[in-house]
Structure 1
């Protein structure tokens, strides 16, 4: 009888842990949180604008994927993390690096392939890392970071710490087979991982309605008993509330969870993409009605928490940081040829 009772208890516990949580209400930010999120998102926006300029001038080579429009996702998530939580993402990664506290100089220098870059100038736009900031890339292969993110979570569980792996990927990568293999293992072992789908609606240029049979990406883990919720990825408060909930879920031993971040990128997939698959009117409508930075700016003004002059000063400060990073990245020496033979595993 005791054995049956124990089995029933375990079964009930497992069933409860699989109950999908509800999308929380947007967080009620304090003045300090609003000001901090405004500055962090603005830094990413201005940095990416400058990166676009340097790419056009031929100072950044190879591929370059800008994060303009999606700033609320990584900033809202980062605000809920604790030291030790890991971040891993795809190749649209500059915003994630800045949000984790990596220096603007180091990121920009890596974009231009200089010695002071965060990967010594050898990784470029898509491959940057920082052990100090628990940032594990920057990955150029679509979906490749997802099993690696689960691997980070496995390491956390093996070591017995309470760190969580935040694994970012896009709506395009969501259709990759390795993603579903990862979902299965992550739930099978109840790994502490939050899968964050940055659903910017177009992947490499095809809308989700044309490329995905199931366009509600929060349901992608259903067959593996992984819960998921949809989140307004253009509102940093909504992202932060979802992040707090998801991190607590994973940290408390309930296993993986999926956050379908409904966001939008203003630029093309990469700098070489003219984005002719959508209208200019569509982009302008999102900018006018849902811009993540403008939403915070307007709240600060409406609540009397900041004046126009104070916000202009923040923008000036951010622009100076970005200008300094660009100056550093264009004058720092290129790596010595001997670097071709370092950091190689044989």
Structure 2
């Protein structure tokens, strides 16, 4: 089977996300990354499929689980790893850590730690794009838990009223920390149905099928650029590791027995390897290149300096705390 450039491009970006997060998980016990990490292993197809339908001028905002979105959007690998180490060469100067990433050159505006917090930020960015008539859009990455926050409804309603150029990309991995969707929302509720009721064009897709995600995202982006207003995409997927940290947590028994294994059998990466028809030599070369890049990023982060204490108040709104 001949490999298409699209299939290989999607696979290569998924490999980048998976291998980087696996490396973070391996290095984390060394305690040089002194910030919490929320890994997306198992959810790579959702991030990559959405990001591939965006341009570098389009903006994206993300959540506490942001590494995959940052990398998929074209964020700088070296700056990401340095940021996790709190170094001055990090994408936020070492001040943000894992949950606060930004790469303006790649159109990755920001990620924030509070659930739902980035939603109004992204909608505000979309309003600015509309006022500037830029023709660009903003993608708001969110999880299923964020759809339970009041700010989601308020922001989605405002976006619908104003027909803002915003794409809500919802990764439904079934859990908010340890609470399954069944404990948080009534049986039979459809996330796409209530997004549609707000006034968003909505679609549901297999979040472990990167090409399916890309096709839906491409359609949504076209609708948005045509002035049809905001869209909502629900992607069913699953995180393999613990909510926060580099380890497996299946022994905690908050997931039904066998559920994790069932989802691992739907590994989005292996699915795309099979679909792409990538030959072994191509895969071997990509893996070798990624291994070199990732190793260099960790070596560089280890050698980089911490930000000086004199810069502690750089970039904050008020430096005279006595006014409070």
**TM-score normalised by L of structure 2:** 0.92
Alpha-carbon separation, structure 1, partners of 2:10 and 2:74: 13
Residue equivalent to 1:308: 280
Tell me by how many angstroms 1:173 deviates. 1.0
Tell me by how many angstroms 1:313 deviates. 2.3
Residue equivalent to 1:88: 61
Alpha-carbon separation, structure 2, partners of 1:218 and 1:30: 33
Give matches, 1:41-190, under 5 Å: 41-190=14-163
Residue equivalent to 1:13: none
Residue equivalent to 2:322: none
Tell me by how many angstroms 1:78 deviates. 1.6
Give matches, 1:259-270, under 5 Å: 259-270=233-244
> Are 2:284 and 1:284 aligned?
no
| Gaps in structure 2 of 5+ consecutive residues | 319-324
Tell me by how many angstroms 1:107 deviates. 0.2
SS in 2 for 1:137: strand
Residue equivalent to 1:14: none
- Coordinate RMSD, CA, aligned: 1.6
Query: Structure 1 residues 78 and 222, CA, compared in 2 at 3 Å: closer, same or farther?
Result: closer
Q: Which has the larger radius of gyration?
A: 1
Residue equivalent to 1:293: 269
Query: Structure 1 residues 202 and 215, CA, compared in 2 at 3 Å: closer, same or farther?
Result: farther
Query: Structure 1 residues 265 and 215, CA, compared in 2 at 3 Å: closer, same or farther?
Result: farther
Query: Structure 1 residues 264 and 215, CA, compared in 2 at 3 Å: closer, same or farther?
Result: farther
Tell me by how many angstroms 1:80 deviates. 1.2
Give matches, 1:314-333, under 5 Å: 314-333=286-305
Residue equivalent to 2:315: 343
> Are 2:216 and 1:239 aligned?
no
Residue equivalent to 1:199: 172
SS in 1 for 2:121: helix
Alpha-carbon separation, structure 2, partners of 1:83 and 1:196: 17
Alpha-carbon separation, structure 2, partners of 1:167 and 1:284: 29
1:228 to 199, 202, 212: 202
Which region of structure 1 is more displaced relative to structure 2, 228-237 or 73-82? 73-82
- Conserved 8 A contact 1:219-1:227: no
- Conserved 8 A contact 1:266-1:283: yes
Alpha-carbon separation, structure 2, partners of 1:116 and 1:246: 36
SS in 1 for 2:305: coil
- Conserved 8 A contact 1:119-1:128: yes
> 4+ runs of 1 displaced by more than 4 Å?
none
The total of aligned residue pairs comes to 313
Tell me by how many angstroms 1:117 deviates. 0.4
Tell me by how many angstroms 1:279 deviates. 4.6
Query: Structure 1 residues 57 and 280, CA, compared in 2 at 3 Å: closer, same or farther?
Result: farther
- Conserved 8 A contact 1:208-1:215: no
